Amino acid sequence: MDLDVSVNGQWASTIGAILVERNIPGLPEVSENIIEVAGRDGALDFGSSYSPRPIGLGFFIAGDDYDKTVGLIMRMFNIRRGQLDIVFSDRPGKHYLAQYRGTMGFDESAGNRIVEIPLKMYDPFPRLEEKISELTITKSPQVITVDSIGDERTSAVIVLTNIGSSSLTKFTIKNEYKVE
Protein backbone atom coordinates (compact mmCIF):
# COMPACT_ATOMS: atom_id res chain seq x y z
CA MET A 1 0.00 0.00 0.00
CA ASP A 2 1.36 3.43 -0.92
CA LEU A 3 1.41 5.89 1.95
CA ASP A 4 -0.56 9.08 1.34
CA VAL A 5 -1.67 12.06 3.39
CA SER A 6 -4.79 14.20 3.23
CA VAL A 7 -4.59 17.88 4.22
CA ASN A 8 -8.02 19.42 4.82
CA GLY A 9 -9.53 16.72 2.62
CA GLN A 10 -7.07 16.96 -0.31
CA TRP A 11 -4.74 14.00 -0.87
CA ALA A 12 -1.13 14.91 -1.63
CA SER A 13 -0.94 12.26 -4.36
CA THR A 14 -3.56 14.17 -6.40
CA ILE A 15 -1.12 17.07 -6.87
CA GLY A 16 1.88 14.89 -7.77
CA ALA A 17 3.48 14.73 -4.31
CA ILE A 18 4.30 11.28 -2.97
CA LEU A 19 4.67 10.95 0.82
CA VAL A 20 7.99 9.14 1.39
CA GLU A 21 8.84 10.23 4.96
CA ARG A 22 6.75 10.66 8.08
CA ASN A 23 8.28 11.45 11.42
CA ILE A 24 5.80 11.44 14.31
CA PRO A 25 7.31 10.77 17.74
CA GLY A 26 5.55 8.04 19.70
CA LEU A 27 4.89 10.50 22.50
CA PRO A 28 5.45 14.24 22.66
CA GLU A 29 8.20 15.69 24.83
CA VAL A 30 7.38 16.22 28.48
CA SER A 31 7.38 19.60 30.21
CA GLU A 32 8.33 19.50 33.88
CA ASN A 33 6.20 21.84 35.98
CA ILE A 34 8.52 22.75 38.84
CA ILE A 35 9.40 25.82 40.83
CA GLU A 36 12.64 26.54 42.64
CA VAL A 37 12.34 28.41 45.93
CA ALA A 38 15.20 30.56 47.23
CA GLY A 39 16.80 29.07 50.33
CA ARG A 40 15.32 25.63 49.69
CA ASP A 41 17.27 22.77 48.18
CA GLY A 42 15.76 21.09 45.11
CA ALA A 43 12.47 22.14 43.61
CA LEU A 44 8.74 21.74 44.15
CA ASP A 45 7.20 19.36 41.64
CA PHE A 46 3.79 20.22 40.23
CA GLY A 47 3.70 17.28 37.84
CA SER A 48 4.40 16.99 34.16
CA SER A 49 2.47 17.71 30.98
CA TYR A 50 2.97 16.98 27.31
CA SER A 51 4.50 19.63 25.05
CA PRO A 52 3.40 20.27 21.47
CA ARG A 53 4.30 17.37 19.16
CA PRO A 54 6.39 18.02 16.04
CA ILE A 55 5.59 16.19 12.81
CA GLY A 56 7.91 15.97 9.83
CA LEU A 57 6.67 15.06 6.34
CA GLY A 58 8.80 14.40 3.28
CA PHE A 59 7.38 14.41 -0.24
CA PHE A 60 8.94 13.17 -3.46
CA ILE A 61 7.92 15.38 -6.38
CA ALA A 62 6.73 13.19 -9.23
CA GLY A 63 6.20 14.32 -12.81
CA ASP A 64 7.93 16.87 -14.98
CA ASP A 65 6.54 20.13 -13.55
CA TYR A 66 8.59 20.37 -10.34
CA ASP A 67 7.93 24.08 -9.73
CA LYS A 68 4.17 23.76 -10.15
CA THR A 69 3.98 20.83 -7.72
CA VAL A 70 6.15 22.62 -5.13
CA GLY A 71 3.79 25.61 -5.45
CA LEU A 72 0.79 23.36 -4.82
CA ILE A 73 2.49 21.89 -1.73
CA MET A 74 3.21 25.42 -0.46
CA ARG A 75 -0.45 26.29 -0.95
CA MET A 76 -1.54 23.09 0.81
CA PHE A 77 0.53 23.85 3.95
CA ASN A 78 0.28 27.68 3.89
CA ILE A 79 0.35 29.12 7.42
CA ARG A 80 -2.59 31.38 6.54
CA ARG A 81 -4.80 28.26 6.41
CA GLY A 82 -4.33 27.96 10.18
CA GLN A 83 -4.78 24.59 11.79
CA LEU A 84 -4.70 21.78 9.24
CA ASP A 85 -6.67 18.53 9.46
CA ILE A 86 -4.16 15.84 8.51
CA VAL A 87 -5.17 12.20 7.91
CA PHE A 88 -2.78 9.44 6.83
CA SER A 89 -3.98 6.69 4.49
CA ASP A 90 -2.71 3.96 6.84
CA ARG A 91 -4.40 5.58 9.87
CA PRO A 92 -7.91 6.36 8.63
CA GLY A 93 -10.17 8.10 11.10
CA LYS A 94 -7.28 9.63 13.10
CA HIS A 95 -7.12 13.38 12.62
CA TYR A 96 -3.82 15.11 13.38
CA LEU A 97 -4.54 18.82 13.88
CA ALA A 98 -1.30 20.64 13.10
CA GLN A 99 0.13 23.88 11.76
CA TYR A 100 3.07 24.60 9.48
CA ARG A 101 6.05 25.60 11.64
CA GLY A 102 9.66 26.04 10.67
CA THR A 103 11.21 26.22 7.23
CA MET A 104 10.27 24.12 4.22
CA GLY A 105 13.37 22.32 3.02
CA PHE A 106 13.86 21.46 -0.63
CA ASP A 107 16.71 20.86 -3.03
CA GLU A 108 16.31 21.26 -6.77
CA SER A 109 19.59 19.51 -7.54
CA ALA A 110 19.51 16.67 -10.03
CA GLY A 111 18.10 13.48 -8.56
CA ASN A 112 16.87 15.01 -5.30
CA ARG A 113 13.23 15.92 -5.54
CA ILE A 114 12.34 15.69 -1.83
CA VAL A 115 10.43 18.51 -0.13
CA GLU A 116 10.36 18.49 3.67
CA ILE A 117 7.48 20.04 5.60
CA PRO A 118 7.74 20.71 9.37
CA LEU A 119 4.48 20.78 11.33
CA LYS A 120 3.52 21.11 14.98
CA MET A 121 0.52 19.76 16.88
CA TYR A 122 -0.29 22.10 19.77
CA ASP A 123 -2.86 19.58 21.01
CA PRO A 124 -0.39 16.70 20.84
CA PHE A 125 -2.80 13.80 20.36
CA PRO A 126 -4.78 12.88 17.25
CA ARG A 127 -8.55 12.88 17.40
CA LEU A 128 -10.84 10.12 16.25
CA GLU A 129 -13.91 10.72 14.17
CA GLU A 130 -16.98 11.21 16.31
CA LYS A 131 -19.36 8.34 16.65
CA ILE A 132 -22.75 9.74 17.61
CA SER A 133 -25.71 7.51 18.30
CA GLU A 134 -29.22 8.35 19.34
CA LEU A 135 -31.34 6.30 21.67
CA THR A 136 -34.96 6.66 22.68
CA ILE A 137 -35.59 5.87 26.32
CA THR A 138 -38.70 3.71 26.42
CA LYS A 139 -38.76 2.30 29.95
CA SER A 140 -37.75 3.39 33.41
CA PRO A 141 -35.23 2.75 34.78
CA GLN A 142 -33.00 2.06 31.80
CA VAL A 143 -29.22 1.52 31.94
CA ILE A 144 -27.14 2.70 29.00
CA THR A 145 -23.42 1.99 28.68
CA VAL A 146 -21.29 4.67 27.03
CA ASP A 147 -17.75 3.74 26.00
CA SER A 148 -14.89 5.79 24.65
CA ILE A 149 -13.34 4.21 21.54
CA GLY A 150 -10.37 6.60 21.56
CA ASP A 151 -6.77 6.07 22.57
CA GLU A 152 -7.34 7.75 25.91
CA ARG A 153 -10.22 7.29 28.31
CA THR A 154 -12.51 10.27 28.33
CA SER A 155 -15.86 11.19 29.77
CA ALA A 156 -18.86 10.90 27.52
CA VAL A 157 -20.88 13.93 26.50
CA ILE A 158 -24.55 13.18 26.97
CA VAL A 159 -27.21 15.50 25.58
CA LEU A 160 -30.83 14.93 26.55
CA THR A 161 -33.55 16.57 24.50
CA ASN A 162 -37.27 16.49 25.22
CA ILE A 163 -39.02 16.19 21.86
CA GLY A 164 -42.47 15.84 23.38
CA SER A 165 -44.91 18.57 24.29
CA SER A 166 -45.24 17.63 27.98
CA SER A 167 -42.75 18.50 30.69
CA LEU A 168 -40.68 15.80 32.29
CA THR A 169 -40.99 15.39 36.04
CA LYS A 170 -39.01 13.33 38.50
CA PHE A 171 -36.18 13.00 36.00
CA THR A 172 -32.90 11.65 37.41
CA ILE A 173 -29.49 11.23 35.85
CA LYS A 174 -27.19 8.95 37.80
CA ASN A 175 -23.48 8.86 37.05
CA GLU A 176 -21.73 5.71 38.23
CA TYR A 177 -18.19 4.88 37.21
CA LYS A 178 -16.75 1.39 37.18
CA VAL A 179 -13.18 1.28 38.43
CA GLU A 180 -11.16 -1.22 36.44
Q: What is the pLDDT of residues 141-155, one digit of tens each?
A: 677 766 666 666 666
Residue 54 has pLDDT above 70, yes or no: yes
Cα 4 to chain center, whole Å?
16
In the chain, alpha helices (H): 66-76
Please give the model's pTM, rounded to 2 decimal places.
0.70
pLDDT at 75: 93
Q: Which sequence spans correspond to the domains of the chain?
A: 5-128
Q: What is the mean pLDDT of the chain?
A: 83
Between 128 and 99, the higher pLDDT residue? 99
Question: pLDDT tens across 24-51, in order?
Answer: 998 999 999 999 999 999 999 999 999 9
Residue 110 has pLDDT above 60, yes or no: no
- For residues 109 and 100, what is the distance between their CA atoms, to the nearest angstrom? 24
In sequence order, what DSSP letters do the residues of 114-134 get, joined into one string? EEEEEEEESS-S-EEPP----
Q: How many CA atoms lie within 13 A of 20 on its CB side?
A: 13
pLDDT at 150: 60
Q: Which CATH class, in words, describes the domain spanning 5-128?
A: mainly beta
